[in-house]
Chains A and B, each alone.
Chain A
Amino acid sequence: RKEVEQDPGPFNVPEGATVAFNCTYSNSASQSFFWYRQDCRKEPKLLMSVYSSGNEDGRFTAQLNRASQYISLLIRDSKLSDSATYLCVVNGSGYGNKLVFGAGTILRVKS
């Protein structure tokens, strides 16, 4: 079983749609959680951290369920520029630990 699992998609949605991505992780000791965005042939860029209480950044909302070891990302009012691969990322406990990436979920927003 992979440490971080995501639906690879692709998710094909029209502009303005709301889309949700889910992710599960296997290491119950994980302490930090992130969503990264990666454009084709580019480096991953931090989209947002994910907190236990849930957090929002503009059109993006992230949720964490520690009991179920489940992370989600909701994108409202999708834009063409949201088309990318979204990587679910988990970090271990303590300082300076490695990031464990899911394989990514592909989002394609169409006009």
Chain B
Amino acid sequence: DAGVTQSPTHLIKTRGQQVTLRCSPKSGHDTVSWYQQALGQGPQFIFQYYEEEERQRGNFPDRFSGHQFPNYSSELNVNALLLGDSALYLCASSPWTGSNAQHFGDGTRLSIL
């Protein structure tokens, strides 16, 4: 039973570029959440997708956008990258109903030069 998978593992970009990160949820999970974790901080909620719609959003600018596909996988897009966007980006999945515990992927480490 595959857990949450994310790609790529590492990514290096320059300021102003755009990036797309991908996530496949754990089998049986239909809800995907994205988090940003800066060094020395706890993960910060970006947004959550269920039934291909953004259901909740954290305090992140519109440069951060996402999508969920019919197979429940999801993408996180970040436009006009800033140095401050350098972080570990974590995808978590869970069922929409029942326990709210979320299971995390290994993350994508994004570095902006």
A residues with CB within 8 A of B: 4, 31-32, 34, 41-46, 49, 87, 91, 95-104
Contact = CB atoms under 8 A, between A and B. Distances in A.
Contact of B33 (A34, A42, A99): A99
A71 to B, nearest CB: 14
A43 B90 contact: yes
B111 interface: no
B96 A95 contact: yes
Given A44-B90, A46-B103, A49-B99, A96 B50 contact: yes
8 contacts: A32-B100, A32-B101, A95-B100, A96-B31, A96-B100, A98-B58, A99-B102, A100-B45
Question: Chain B: interface residue count, which band?
Answer: 20 to 34
A91 B43 contact: no
B106 A98 contact: no
Given A42-B106, A44-B43, A104-B42, A98 B101 contact: no
B71 interface: no
B44 A101 contact: yes
Interface of B: 31, 33, 35, 40-45, 48, 50, 55-56, 58, 88, 90, 92, 94, 96-97, 99-107, 109
Contacts, number: 61
Tell me which of A34, A95, A98 has the highest count of chain B C-beta atoms within 10 A of its own C-beta.
Answer: A98
Contacts of B45: 98-100
Contacts of B109: 41
A83 to B, nearest CB: 17
A45 B106 CA distance: 10
